[in-house]
Amino acid sequence: MVLIASSHELLGARRDELFDLDGDNPRFDVPLKRVKKRRVIQQPLSDVEIIKEALASADQQFVFESPMYKGQPIHRKAMADALRGTKHEINKDKTKTAGLCELLGLKPFTPHDLRRTAATLAGDLGFDDAAIAKCLDHAVTKKGDTVVPTVTGKVYNHSKRMKEKRAVLDGVAAELLRIIGEPVARSRSLEGHG
């Protein structure tokens, strides 16, 4: 699943904001209350397996539900803490839980850095800045040498926006799969069929 949403938009994702997960055009509609510009964002989903896996039970309303607080989304800092680790002071002893960056020997980064990485990867794959900006929910006022009226692109022409966004996100998803290889769970399931 490639989604270039902010963590605030993503972490509160609800089951009823997902559409066509088993169809040809799966998407996530981020409601205006979680969007900085206070309007709905329709974001195509390139691969829905992660979402389907996250929706462990039929009564689960949040896609990424807190393991500690049933019926609530994971905390807004959960992604950052998972990457950078946590520090706690208990009984005056400092304890630290290592984050993924430390465990994998990576330079520390934030969830927002992943948006920049995805945008850069999309640019490296040859997608133009206008299409990438649409995926990031950034305003587009110029495409190549042509000025695009903002109201046309934002309010009226939704079909082209979804098509371009889907192309960018599918391209980034394919490249990420190429980089990391086949997921372990899928490759293990193939071992018994050889």
Structure tokens at 52: 């389907």
How far apart CA 18 and CA 27 sit, in angstroms, is: 6
Determine, yes or no, domain membership for 23: yes
Sign of CA pseudo-dihedral 123, 26, 33, 74: negative
Supply the range of the domain harboring residue 146: 7-86+96-191
Domain annotation covers residue 1: no
Q: Is residue 114 part of a domain?
A: yes
What confidence score (pLDDT) does residue 182 get? Answer: 65
Model's pTM, two decimal places? 0.67
Q: In whole angstroms, what is the distance from residue 35 CA to residue 12 CA?
A: 11
Predicted pLDDT of residue 107: 92
The amino acid occupying position 131 is A
- Output the tens digit of pLDDT for each of the chain's 194 residues: 555 667 777 888 899 999 999 998 898 888 888 877 777 788 888 878 888 888 888 889 998 888 888 889 888 888 888 888 887 666 455 657 888 999 999 998 888 888 888 888 888 888 887 888 888 877 766 666 665 545 434 443 444 567 888 888 888 888 888 888 865 554 444 444 44
Q: What values do phi and psi take at 96, rounded to 5?
A: -130, 135
- Residue 164 counted as domain residue: yes
Q: What is the 3-state secondary structure (H, E, C) of the chain?
A: CCCCCCHHHHHCCEHHHEECCCCCCCEEEECHHHCCCCCCEEEECCCCHHHHHHCCCCCCCECCECCCCCCCECCCCHHHHHHHCEEEEECCEEEEECCHHHHHCCCCCCHHHHHHHHHHHHHHCCCCHHHHHHHHCCCCCEECCEECCHHHHHHHCHHHHHHHHHHHHHHHHHHHHHHHCCCHHHHHHHHCCC
Name the domain count of the chain: 1
Separation between Cα atoms, residue 6 and residue 27, nearest integer Å: 16
Tokens 């799966």 sit on residue: 26
pLDDT of residue 153: 43
50 in a domain, yes or no? yes
Q: Is residue 140 part of a domain?
A: yes
Q: Report how far residue 117's alpha carbon sits from residue 114's, in angstroms, rounded to the nearest whole number.
A: 5
Sign of CA dihedral 163, 17, 118, 113: positive
Is 2 within the bounds of a domain? no
